[in-house]
Amino acid sequence: MQLKNDRYLRALLKQPVDRTPVWMMRQAGRYLPEYRATRAQAGDFMSLCKNPELACEVTLQPLRRYALDAAILFSDILTIPDAMGLGLYFGEGEGPKFQRPLRDFIDIANLPIPDPEQELRYVMDAVRTIRRELAGSVPLIGFSGSPWTLATYMVEGGSSKTFGTIKKMMFSEPEALHLLLDKLAKSVTLYLNAQIAAGAQSVMIFDTWGGVLTPRDYQEFSLGYMQQIVNGLTREADGRKVPVTLFTKNGGLWLESIANTGCDALGLDWTINISDAKARVGHKVALQGNMDPAILLGSPERIRQEVQMILDGFGQGSGHVFNLGHGITPDVDPERVSVFIDAVHSFSRTYHMSSDIRE
Please report the pLDDT score of residue 184 as a whole number: 98
Dump pLDDT digits (tens) for 220-259: 999 999 999 999 999 999 999 999 999 999 999 999 999 9
- What residues are designated binding site for substrate? 26-30, 76, 153, 208, 326
Domains along the chain with CATH numbers? 7-351 (3.20.20.210)
pLDDT band for position 93 (cuts 50, 70, 90): low
For 255-282, write each residue's pLDDT tens digit.
Answer: 999 999 999 999 999 999 999 999 999 9
Q: Identify whether the C-beta of residue 74 lies closer than 8 Å to the C-beta of residue 55.
A: yes
The angle formed by the CA atoms of residues 319, 138 and 42, to the nearest 5 degrees, is: 120
Q: Indicate the helix (H) or strand (E) that contains 265.
A: strand 265-267
Q: What is the DSSP letter of 351?
A: G
Q: Which sequence positions are flagged as catalytic?
A: 26, 30, 39, 76, 153
Percent of the chain with pLDDT over 70: 97
What's the confidence (pLDDT) of residue 95? Answer: 84
d(Cα 359, Cα 210) in Å, to the nearest integer? 38
Q: What average pLDDT does the segment 190-195 reach?
A: 98
Distance CA 11, CA 304 (A): 22
What is the pLDDT confidence band of residue 2, given thresholds at 50, 70 and 90? Answer: confident
Binding-site residues sit at 26-30, 76, 153, 208, 326
Coil/strand/helix, residue 158: strand
pLDDT digits (tens, 9 = 90+) for 308-336: 999 999 999 999 999 999 999 999 999 99
Q: Are 255 and 223 in contact (CB under 8 A)?
A: no
Round the average pLDDT of the chain to a whole number and report it.
95
The amino acid present at 63, given as its one-letter code, is L
**Euclidean distance between CA atoms 239 and 134, whole angstroms:** 19
Pairing of strands 240-241, 236-237: antiparallel
**What's the pLDDT score for residue 187?**
98
